[in-house]
Amino acid sequence: MFDLNGKTALVTGAGQNVGAGVARTLASQGARVLVNDIVARRADEVAEAIAAAGHSAEALPFDVTDGEAVREAIADRPIDILVNNAGNAGAGEMAVKPFAETEPEEWIGPLAVNLGGVLNCTHAVLPGMIERGWGRVIAVVSGAGTVGVNIGVAAYSAGKGGAAGLLRSVALEVAQTGVTVNSIALGLMSNTGDTGVTDNLARAIPTRRLGTPRRRRRPVRLLGLRGGLLDDRPDHPPRRRLHHQLRPNGTGFQRPSLWRWR
């Protein structure tokens, strides 16, 4: 069920935190993992650690906000699984302040990486997936983009919400091609921003704890399965596939909250 041997997975922003955990998990399931990060050193370190554990990985540094760089990096690499994980403010620093106090130039970074990066990478890999009749596209989004947060990251919320909306439409477009498209909305993470702010917000969470990269790996592993969360048997029409929606549940760990037949 969890065998990804023969599959190639590209994980963006995989040089640290959630992305690194996802890359290690997919590699442990047999996938050959392309470890992307805008910082080459971080990508190299994660790829080397995966290889040292006996799995297959290659560092593939590029900037997801640069569409030409994305296309050049994967031009001769058939991608079976794409995990759009790169986020935050990309190469820059996140301006954490109320939206009314921001300047337009402060919106560019969060929108470029959280929405533009997903557009660039998904657009680059999707034709090949459709042609081969199999593919898995996953985006790590955020509760900030689905329900909103009052911590001064409105542009980031816009980027994550835009990515989630994009993939909903793409999922419908490719529903009968053998390609599945899903997003995972994370709650507050232990490695996110000002610990004073996040610790205060964590007090409102029933379990009083934040999410960790280790816990984020499981839903990505499920969505990357050969059968995904769909019933791909030939006696089931494509439009009768099961759609899985993952939502934040206040603890940072996303549980299946809605199952419906499409």
pLDDT of residue 226: 47
Taking only Cα atoms into account, the Rg of the chain, rounded to an integer number of angstroms, comes to: 18
pLDDT per residue over 139-195, tens digit each?
A: 999 888 888 888 899 999 999 999 999 999 999 999 999 999 999 987 554 545 545
Is the CB of residue 153 less than 8 Å from the CB of residue 214? no
pLDDT at residue 43 is higher than 60: yes
Residues 58, 35 contacting (CB under 8 angstroms): yes
* pLDDT tens, position by position, 220-252: 444 545 444 433 433 334 433 334 444 444 433
Identify the CATH number of the domain defined by range 62-203+225-258. Answer: 3.40.50.720
Give the pLDDT confidence score for residue 3 in this predicted structure: 86
- What is the set of active-site residues? 156
> What pLDDT, in 10s, does the model give residues 75-127?
999 999 999 999 887 777 778 899 999 999 999 999 999 999 999 999 999 99
Is the separation of the CB atoms in 190 and 210 below 8 Å? yes
Q: Find the mean pLDDT for residues 189-215.
A: 51
The pLDDT-based confidence of 209 (bands split at 50, 70, 90) is low
Q: Would you kindly state where each structural domain of the chain is located, as residue ranges?
A: 62-203+225-258
108 or 205, which is more confident? 108
Q: What region does 49 belong to: left with phi over 0, alpha with psi -120 to 50, or beta?
A: alpha
